[in-house]
Amino acid sequence: MAGGSHGLLADAGTDIFRANGIGPISKGVDDHIFFRIPCCHLDTYNGQCHSWCQLVTSNGGQIHEGSCIWYKGDTMPDGCLEEFDEDMATPLCDLSHTSTCSPHDAIFAYTDKDIDLLSDELGIPWENPKTIPFGSVIPYLGFIWDLDTCSVAIPAEKKLKYLNTIKEWEKKPTHPLVEVQKLYGKLLHASLVVTARHAYLTNLEAMLSGFNNSPFVPHTPPCDTSNNLKWWAERLQSPTLSRNVPGPLPLTDLNAFSDASSGFGISITIRNKWHTWCLLPGWKSDGQDISWAKAVGLELLTRSILSSSSGSAYFKVYGDNKGVVKG
């Protein structure tokens, strides 16, 4: 499979291309990304699409939530749902003989020329400077996607841009809302690649919620914000900042649960074993609350599993505090 992206001056709608057998295709705002499949795998892919089509149809077809339109697939091992951009009802076509192309392009079901021919026929204007030729490594949505290694990385220019934003931030002791939003937005974008990221965004999130009706009044960041930004700066100076593209993973379910009670303590169970810890008197004196205790419980549960288990890289654990689980 190879990918390339096009930028539209006007939104064309992806259904036009799918109806003509071109795809798979997805879009983000006004950027469209096209994938093409080797002709030798086209029948296999179309067979898989037929199975997916039956699945999304049985799950209710198109789902419209806010500004998002998607199609529900199966439930993956981690409990997440498969999400499709289309209903998979239209098979892809072999267009490799419709236009003159290089021997390499002839391997695939279609080429850039086929996209352009259909676009010209329908009067769809592409913004040529944003067009990226097909390849196994392509930029899209501010990241570099490598289809061979199934990895995604932050480009060097983005890392430098985000690092300079941190440096500008550190020059002033206080900041208005717009500056917090700009810095937080950049780091939130980077957090899609930096896996240990959420714990180092909480101070900016707390600062965002403190402006209320005074967005232009500069606020002082929470006391540990500088350490969080130091952590981000160190990561952004790494030669390569990438991660594997996540997908369905085999999970081991040990019936592992954690919970906490402010009057008693913390408990965990793993299959038929259990353990408890008492909370020391005055444990709330430094501002900790029950959410903190539940977070500690989930960490103790995770550490217990990792210290006594082998043979699996991924485990399912359960907690009853939504904030802790999501965090």
- How high is the pLDDT of residue 100? 86
Contact 150, 245 (CB under 8 A): yes
- How high is the pLDDT of residue 256? 95
**What tens digit of pLDDT does each residue of 223-278 get?**
999 999 999 999 999 999 999 987 777 788 899 999 999 888 999 999 999 999 99
**What tens digit of pLDDT does each residue of 10-42 get?**
344 577 888 889 989 888 777 888 999 999 999
- How high is the pLDDT of residue 9? 36
CA contacts within 13 A on the Cβ side of 252? 13
Of residues 306 and 6, the one with the higher pLDDT is 306
Of residues 323 and 29, the one with the higher pLDDT is 323
Does the pLDDT of residue 8 top 60, yes or no? no
The Cα–Cα gap between 127 and 7 comes to 5
Q: What is the mean pLDDT of residues 96-112?
A: 89
What is the helix (H) or strand (E) element at residue 292, kind and residue range? helix 290-308
**What tens digit of pLDDT does each residue of 290-300 get?**
999 999 999 99
Paired tokens of 141: 């949505």
Paired tokens of 267: 């408990």
- How high is the pLDDT of residue 73? 93
Q: What is the mean pLDDT of residues 88-108?
A: 90
Give the global pTM.
Answer: 0.78
CB atoms within 10 A of CB 257: 17
Does the pLDDT of residue 326 top 50, yes or no? yes
**What tens digit of pLDDT does each residue of 180-213 get?**
999 999 999 999 999 777 778 989 999 999 998 8
Contact 195, 154 (CB under 8 A): no
**What tens digit of pLDDT does each residue of 126-180 get?**
888 888 889 899 998 899 999 999 999 999 999 999 999 999 999 999 999 999 9
- How high is the pLDDT of residue 311? 66
pLDDT band at 5 (very low <50, low <70, confident <90, very high): low
Q: What is the mean pLDDT of residues 65-78?
A: 86
β-pair partners for 258: 268
- How high is the pLDDT of residue 6? 55
The Cα–Cα gap between 105 and 256 comes to 51
Of residues 284 and 160, the one with the higher pLDDT is 160
Q: Pairing relation of β-strands 252-261 and 315-318?
A: parallel
What is each CA distance from 285 to 233, 289, 297, in whole angstroms? 32, 9, 19
Of residues 144 and 9, the one with the higher pLDDT is 144
**Strand order from edge to edge, sheet including 126-135:** 25-28, 31-36, 2-8, 126-135
- How high is the pLDDT of residue 11? 42
